[in-house]
């Protein structure tokens, strides 16, 4: 069995998850993701038995309702998706618009799963009124129902009974941290979000986020942050300030898809930051940090 992923999601760390797991100490109890999205790091950690339990939080409430259904009612959500997938056949374009309109009224998890499977670049986007407004990728029908059912059931087996869900502000979910917990932050990506990331009704302010990390340092909390990056010589977003004393690692994320389209050969590097408390835990495990790529 490979690591199962129940739905596509732009910004997912599925291709980097195993690399990020290198920075989880062997004594990790809870792994907490305040910006869960596709939960790729938690899924990889569950698959590799790198943590005892998990907390997935995202301010996107329909997303967290979908996660709950996947883990605790896998057969039901898989069946509902199959019904939608079959109902679209021969009328995919108009059917997507109908389901999107219905989702914006009642926020049913199966509707959201169908939209994620069909929308352009698996990119969740909302308008200023909080309505899902991403278009369909009309070149494809979405994941085949039997394939998706298999993935969903595997996710349920990995996480059922060892995970908690919430849909609240990221600061609220990190208030009861224990010494052996690790927080993995993957906030809205600066390179595309500008003033407000359209995945969320409200954005994440840089200064607010930095202040939160500083407070966690003062409490000796272990955390990892995915935040900025670069493609070639082009940097995305401001690096986190040096006074936080975070260990900076650059992860090679491969060739840039956009650069490839333009005939270039630039590679993308994503930044990972490791908190001082976590650095100490890793060093006790004889872990050695590699130098940052030039």
| 17-55 pLDDT per residue, tens | 999 999 999 999 999 999 999 999 999 999 999 999 999
| Confidence band of 234 (pLDDT split at 50, 70, 90) | low
Residue 260 confidence (pLDDT) above 90: no
| Confidence band of 194 (pLDDT split at 50, 70, 90) | very low
d(CA 187, CA 37): 9
- Residue 217: both structure tokens together: 């340092």
Nearest in space to 186 (alpha carbons), one of 234, 228, 243, 237: 228
Tell me whether strands 30-33 and 182-185 are parallel, antiparallel or unpaired. Answer: parallel
231-to-191, 234, 251, 259, 270 alpha-carbon distances in Å: 11, 5, 12, 9, 9
Residue 242 confidence (pLDDT) above 80: yes
> Above pLDDT 90, what percent of the chain?
70
Burial 21-46 (b: 16+ CB within 10 A, else e): bebbbeebebbbbbbbbbbbbbbbbb
8 A C-beta contact, residue 225 and residue 246: yes
Torsion of CA 231, 222, 171, 58, to 10 degrees: 60
Question: Residue 262, exposed/middle/buried by CB under 10 A (0-12, 13-18, 19+)?
Answer: exposed
d(CA 75, CA 69): 9
d(CA 141, CA 202): 31
Longest CA–CA separation in the chain, Å: 59
Residue 286 confidence (pLDDT) above 90: no
Residue of higher predicted confidence among 72 and 252: 72
| Confidence band of 232 (pLDDT split at 50, 70, 90) | low
| Confidence band of 291 (pLDDT split at 50, 70, 90) | low
Q: Is the dihedral of CA 213, 218, 219, 224 positive or negative?
A: positive
Backbone angles phi, psi at 175, to 5 degrees: -90, -15
Tell me whether strands 163-166 and 182-185 are parallel, antiparallel or unpaired. Answer: unpaired
8 A C-beta contact, residue 54 and residue 45: yes
Backbone angles phi, psi at 247, to 5 degrees: -80, 120
| pLDDT at res. 203 | 58
Segment 104-116, tens digit of pLDDT: 999 999 999 999 9
- Residue 37: both structure tokens together: 């999205």
Nearest in space to 178 (alpha carbons), one of 212, 219, 143: 219
């Amino acid at each position: 069995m490979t690591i199962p992923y129940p739905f596509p999601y732009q910004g997912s760390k599925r291709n980097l998850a195993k690399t990020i797991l290198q920075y989880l100490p062997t004594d990790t109890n809870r792994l907490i993701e305040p910006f869960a999205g596709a939960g790729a790091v938690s899924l990889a950690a569950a698959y590799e038995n790198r943590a005892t339990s998990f907390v997935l939080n995202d301010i996107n409430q329909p997303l967290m309702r979908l996660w709950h259904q996947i883990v605790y009612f896998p057969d039901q959500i898989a069946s509902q998706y199959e019904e939608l997938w079959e109902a679209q056949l021969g009328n995919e374009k108009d059917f997507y618009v109908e389901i999107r309109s219905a989702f914006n009224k009642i926020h049913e998890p199966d509707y959201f799963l169908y939209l994620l499977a069909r929308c352009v670049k698996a990119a969740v986007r909302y308008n200023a009124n909080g309505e899902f407004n991403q278009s369909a990728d009309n070149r494809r029908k979405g994941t085949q129902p039997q394939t998706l059912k298999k993935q969903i059931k595997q996710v349920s087996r990995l996480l059922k009974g060892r995970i908690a869900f919430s849909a609240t502000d990221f600061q609220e979910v990190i208030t009861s941290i224990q010494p052996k917990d690790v927080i993995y932050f993957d906030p809205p990506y600066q390179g595309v979000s500008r003033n407000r990331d359209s995945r969320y009704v409200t954005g994440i302010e840089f200064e607010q986020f930095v202040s939160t990390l500083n407070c966690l340092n003062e409490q000796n909390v272990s955390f990892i942050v995915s935040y900025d990056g670069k493609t070639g010589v082009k940097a995305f977003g401001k690096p986190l300030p040096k006074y936080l004393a975070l260990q900076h690692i650059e992860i090679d994320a491969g060739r840039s898809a956009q650069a490839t389209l333009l005939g270039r050969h630039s590679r993308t590097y994503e930044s990972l930051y490791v908190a001082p408390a976590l650095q100490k835990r890793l060093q006790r495990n004889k872990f050695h940090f590699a130098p940052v790529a030039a």
